[in-house]
Amino acid sequence: MLAMHMKAIGYLVGPFLGLLFGLGAFATARQSPLWARFSYLLVGAVAAGWGILGFLLEYHRSTLAYSTRLYLDHYITLLAGIGIGVFAVLAISGQLKPDRFRSRPRPSDKSSAPRSHDEV
């Protein structure tokens, strides 16, 4: 019984962390290419779908038909594989390096700086 509750908690916490990672990385990785930023969002969406389907399966397992349980298990595994694959592509391409998520200081605006007589 405890194992079932732990699975349900995992299916609730996992999507929350996945969405938090996806939205946070999308918002902070301004130096990353557009495809990488949208891949972060995809990881978050896949994590949310995985968690919702997993929680529904665990909560309604006894009332579902056998074929429906098999379909839900299949789609949960499919979403997990997609999430792992996208995460692996981001890692291999170097988009998960910590320096991608740091805010870089903006270069100072040289037009507002006072000019010397040599520059004119």
Domain spans in the chain, listed from the N-terminal domain onward: 14-95
The pTM (predicted TM-score) of the whole model is 0.71
Instruction: Categorise residue 94: left if φ over 0, alpha if ψ from -120 to 50, beta otherwise.
Output: left
Do 43 and 20 meet the contact criterion of CB atoms below 8 Å apart? no
Structure tokens, 28: 């902070």
Specify the pLDDT at position 95.
86
Do 25 and 75 meet the contact criterion of CB atoms below 8 Å apart? no
Specify the pLDDT at position 26.
84
**Which pLDDT band holds residue 22 (cuts at 50, 70, 90)?**
confident
Buried b / exposed e along 61-83 (16+ C-beta atoms within 10 A):
eeeeeeeeeeebeeebeebbebb
pLDDT at 82 over 80: yes
Specify the pLDDT at position 70.
94
Percentage, residues of the chain above pLDDT 70 = 78
